[in-house]
Structure 1
């Protein structure tokens, strides 16, 4: 497959000026350019065959825009789409000179593509999912909305809860296990939607004729050159790889793997959600999970009757998280609305809280507090001991210092 240089004719004779708008002055830079390139990397990763002799429009346009951006700066542009993909794997985002505002600048060493696995990083997916009309966002939202609609129509909240737990706890299923879910009392209602969430396990995850799961998240590990494996989830990359169960391609009639967008934006945060559920249970509290068909993630009622509503996110970029944040709906009602992010995000990104608060919409800024999972559990324990939470701690939880340890809820 080949790329067209900016301004050359397409198959129907139209130039790229028509595709881009009114001409070269409308070529993107800054954040729009980063979104274009990130979306192109996601689209390339979804490509399964060689196909047409030219790349699809989203990839071609990203290449055209990055070439013109380089030429305008007097820099050497990538010579082809494959070279652009190599840039995404080899050049940290800080070296691209997109012209991003400081608060949007990625953490040092952030790449769009993982050089070891050749797959988009979570940062890449976050920028692509934030872009206009990306396939990943459509796919994730469509399936989750289908599950919600079917559960609501049957007045079966237990079916939706079972569906969410399945995507978190079982990112890999054999064909036999997938078929057996049709007889499950809760999941049978959503069986057709469940089947669409899982893809055939790719050959790229095979090593020596076997698939191997990550011992932490349960997703398939990706073999890397010169031996070893790598997990695609950010939460697992902080520690050495832990190998879990393994399968042959024929086990259980074949293997299915949860789609990448769902692994990133449902399984990843879901691990933090269920870790909080377990930690709260150890503290003597029962969390209602995804109440009223996922109004928010956890609803915790204290012995004195006060209710905390908790939404959990595991996002690499605090600016994008801030932009996406909205006040939690008051159904079911609560006394305190909290947005909880795993502690490792605060530890790995200086100023995570401050960048988030700079970008959160005004209507949400005073109605939802950002906490790390460790901060949340510390406040829970303080409340259960019957002590008044110190004013200094309250201020820190919403505007001040970041945490001092990288442990998450599961370690608290």
Structure 2
């Protein structure tokens, strides 16, 4: 029985998506609930699974095509017998080939097959890096680029030299590679441009002595991990709790602008920026004022793991009243973070570095961190921004105040 495979239902905030990767090809056997295609939106990658045991009879949307919510992207024959697995297909005689000239033991994505045909590339010569050895579009591009950077040896039996495929870019070893921007990266670019062009953004700086926090972590990290079932005590948990307390004292920093209205939030939903291969995502810690340090740490770790696998849901990255970003993990000493609209402030953490500091008339070497607060000057005055940052500094330099909320 033939059924339609449809794109997922997108939330109201997502207009459309792009077919990222077909994990199964027409005629290839599928098991019920097996992943068959990834749909990339401007926020997350959504997975579509097989509705039953069977095969895909027709693909209507290839990789790179735009799809709408619930749009039909393929036809599926439930109960039909599929082709042999790639490992079994490799045992077929080499002389056999598929109808489009590609050997049966190489599975190509539609985009990869099209690019190979356009550039006269033999798919059997391309190393596949996709799932189960599948050849992706990028694999074909890398093969073409590699071939163009060294002279090709003509086969001895070739009757005449065929014209070489046009290189992607070549001048000696000056190779260039052109790939389309992902939807996530395009959306990030749009939001950053919106923030810089539609707000009166300003950044204020301060520095915090991290010695008390580092000493606290050193003293209790082993016991903390044991008591909280493997959850490690890091700096982010204390930063989130310090920011939460400071947001309670300065509600304007926790507010947002909606047209000509100021929306004051009676809760603290703190977004934590997480870097992935596809770009920066900001999952949100809901009601951080009710979370313990251990809950913050375990939730952030879970966010990080799922973000790298593209498993975060859209709901987990929607909303938020304040954002924290940590460039220090990459070695950044100082930066000016850009607002995460419609929020009106963002805190930037940086690298901890020992510096000589004057303490009570004496020079001491202390582990210092620069803090940066970017804020929308339309809503937050400089006085509030500075006082907010000083409050975080004081809470971190005397961590007991975080627990006592003083």
TM-score by length of 2: 0.26
Q: Which has the higher contact order (CA 8 A, sep 6+)?
A: 2
Structure number with bigger Rg: 2
Bigger strand share = 2
